[in-house]
């Protein structure tokens, strides 16, 4: 196992490596996140519009397709069921199903996963995983679920698989109160946590909480970093090559291991003397042997304000994989640019929303620039000009009978007709509105509607259409 100094040095090096690569993605995800919240105008553009006495218009049309996918998951993700495959036992599968019911319900798994999916839709990636909660059972702990947004973690930039089998490291950050940290880490001496300095600033994950340095002073907040990495360990295995069976026996007590070796030697001797003793070899147990094999294990290192306080296995007992999984929007492994390699649904709708708001502002500007109501009259033709400002119905406007003042008679006063808005702009707005649904793959078939717009179709047919569309 590496020393604390070596682990911290490796942690900082991998953080710099991941931070430099994922910087473009974080910037793009932040822009898309603001657009989802209804802010696509830059500060420079807003200042320019205000100088022109124009009110910036922001219609959020990309939230509709995002809510469609979110609602579809919330309506259809009701339970996690285990099914037997390749001749496995049905009773065992039912037991796993009951265990999943208990775990997902008690650990608040469904709402956490759905919230993580919403974040993945918006930014392009989010994490959802398992952790131990010691708030109630402070001895063994309870399984609970957690989520991480895009700006609170970094993955190995070379990963290409969604199962993270090729991801060599992961760094997660939380900002937690010191007392909460003690509840999360009951296996760490509380005196060690109390001795860690309170004021801390390391310039990491600035897009997560840029004001962390101020918060850490006033609210006793600590940087809780989890550094996961793959490590190779030498393990002893009992191997049956004939039946492709193996079992890890590294942690067996020495007495049991000695008995096992003694039994293997007796079995080998019995097989070698089988012919002489008249024993059928097919009736003997298959030959086994003990092998030393290098195996990959997941190692967790926990840092508090830059101080390493734990190194070992994750307390969930998950050692052959990460205790979390990524929820990815669009992943393009062949693209090197991080801003294009990972994308969420808003990345396909951002330009459409910008154009929609720009064109709508142009329509409003055209309507405001035209004189839409009022009268034009020859000066002196109306004895009382206040008559032209009447409101409501049955307006009475008097016109002077003197032809020198009103040479055109009643035509000396004419009502102004407002200019019409260009119908092409109105039609283009409708096209942009439909384009946002098309770009997000939300159409009639996904909504379960018949091609001709008929909604009176069977529920099963609607489900099939939705499933095929998604």
Q: Please enumerate, as own/partner, the contacts of 3-9 that have beta carbons within 8 Å and a separation of 24 or more.
A: 4/308, 7/227, 7/301, 7/308, 7/311, 8/303, 8/306, 8/308
Task: Give the pLDDT confidence score for residue 27 in this predicted structure.
Answer: 92
Ranked by mean pLDDT, which of 72-81, 171-180, 283-292, 454-463 comes out on top? 171-180
* Same domain, yes or no: 86 and 195: yes
Strand order in the sheet with 324-328: 142-148, 125-133, 324-328
* Same domain, yes or no: 152 and 279: no
Strand partners, 415: 375
If you write DSSP's letter for every residue of 309-366 in order, what string do you get? EEEES-TT---SS-SEEEEESEE-TT---HHHHEE-THHHHHHHHHHHHHHHHHHHHH
Q: Reduced to 3 states, what is the DSSP secondary structure of residue 423?
A: helix
Mean of per-residue pLDDT scores for the chain: 82
* Same domain, yes or no: 245 and 216: no
* For residues 302-315, average pLDDT: 92
Q: What is the band of 290 on the pLDDT scale with cuts at 50, 70, 90?
A: confident
* For residues 291-305, average pLDDT: 92
CB 224, CB 304: distance < 8 Å: yes
CB 228, CB 299: distance < 8 Å: yes
Q: What is the band of 44 on the pLDDT scale with cuts at 50, 70, 90?
A: confident
CA pair distance 142, 144, nearest whole angstrom: 6
* 392, two tokens: 């409501």
| CA nearest to 226, candidates 108, 132, 293, 343 | 132
| CA nearest to 316, candidates 289, 298, 336, 291 | 298
CA pair distance 349, 33, nearest whole angstrom: 12
pTM of the complete model:
0.78
* Same domain, yes or no: 144 and 274: no
User: Is the model's pLDDT at 73 over the cut of 60?
Assistant: yes
Fill in the DSSP letter of residue 306: T
* Same domain, yes or no: 33 and 137: yes
Task: Give the pLDDT confidence score for residue 229 in this predicted structure.
Answer: 95
* For residues 309-315, average pLDDT: 92
Which structural domain range is residue 148 located in?
4-230+296-345
**Residue finishing a domain among 294, 313, 333:** 294
Task: Give the pLDDT confidence score for residue 170 in this predicted structure.
Answer: 96
* Same domain, yes or no: 459 and 324: no
CB 250, CB 235: distance < 8 Å: yes
Of 42-46, 236-240, 386-390, 457-461, the least confident: 457-461
* Same domain, yes or no: 151 and 75: yes
Residue with the larger pLDDT of the pair 129 and 77: 129
* Same domain, yes or no: 394 and 328: no
CA pair distance 125, 330, nearest whole angstrom: 9
**Residue finishing a domain among 294, 313, 329:** 294
Of 82-86, 140-144, 268-272, 436-440, the least confident: 436-440
**Residue finishing a domain among 271, 294, 317:** 294
* Same domain, yes or no: 11 and 67: yes
Domain count, the chain: 3
* Same domain, yes or no: 262 and 203: no
Task: Burial-class residue 272 by CB neighbours within 10 Å (0-12, 13-18, 19+).
Answer: exposed
* Same domain, yes or no: 138 and 60: yes
* Same domain, yes or no: 441 and 405: yes
């Amino acid at each position: 196992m590496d020393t604390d100094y070596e682990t911290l040095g490796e942690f900082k090096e991998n953080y710099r490596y991941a931070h430099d690569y994922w910087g473009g993605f974080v910037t793009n995800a932040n822009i898309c996140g603001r657009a989802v919240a209804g802010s696509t105008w830059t500060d420079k553009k807003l200042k320019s519009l205000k100088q022109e006495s124009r009110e910036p218009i922001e219609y959020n049309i990309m939230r509709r397709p995002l809510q469609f996918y979110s609602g579809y998951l919330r309506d259809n993700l009701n339970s996690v069921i285990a099914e037997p495959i390749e001749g496995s036992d049905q009773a065992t599968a039912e037991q796993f199903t009951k265990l999943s019911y208990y775990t997902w319900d008690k650990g608040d798994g469904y709402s956490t996963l759905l919230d993580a999916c919403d974040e993945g839709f918006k930014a392009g990636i989010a994490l959802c995983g398992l952790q131990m909660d010691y708030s109630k059972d402070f001895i063994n702990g309870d399984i609970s679920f957690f989520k991480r947004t895009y700006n609170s973690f970094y993955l190995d930039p070379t990963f290409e698989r969604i199962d993270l089998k090729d991801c060599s490291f992961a760094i997660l950050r939380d900002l937690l109160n010191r007392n909460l940290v003690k509840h999360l880490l009951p296996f760490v001496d509380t005196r060690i946590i109390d001795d860690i300095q309170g004021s801390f600033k390391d310039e990491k994950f600035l897009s997560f909480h840029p004001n962390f340095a101020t918060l850490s002073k006033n609210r006793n907040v600590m940087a809780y970093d989890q550094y996961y990495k793959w490590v190779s360990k030498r393990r002893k295995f009992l191997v049956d090559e004939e039946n492709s069976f193996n079992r890890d026996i590294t942690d067996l007590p020495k007495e049991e291991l000695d008995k096992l070796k003694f039994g293997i030697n007796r079995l080998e001797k019995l097989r070698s003397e089988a012919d002489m003793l008249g024993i059928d070899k097919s009736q003997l147990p298959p030959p086994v042997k003990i092998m030393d094999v290098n195996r990959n294990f997941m190692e967790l290192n926990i840092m508090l304000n830059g101080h390493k306080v734990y190194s070992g296995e994750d307390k969930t007992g998950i050692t052959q994989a990460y205790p979390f999984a990524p929820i990815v929007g669009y992943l393009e492994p062949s693209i090197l640019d991080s801003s294009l390699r990972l994308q969420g649904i808003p990345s396909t709708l951002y330009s459409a929303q910008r154009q929609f708001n720009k064109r709508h502002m142009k329509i409003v500007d055209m309507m405001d620039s035209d004189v839409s109501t009022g009268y034009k009259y020859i000066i002196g033709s109306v004895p009382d000009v206040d008559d032209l400002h009447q409101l409501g119905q049955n307006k009475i406007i008097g016109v002077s009978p003197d032809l020198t003042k009103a040479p055109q008679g009643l035509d000396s006063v004419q009502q102004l007709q407002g200019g019409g808005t260009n119908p092409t702009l109105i039609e283009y707005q409708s096209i942009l509105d439909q384009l946002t649904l098309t770009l997000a793959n939300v159409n009639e078939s996904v909504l379960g509607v018949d091609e001709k717009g008929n909604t009176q179709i069977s529920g099963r047919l609607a489900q099939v259409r939705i499933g095929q569309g998604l």
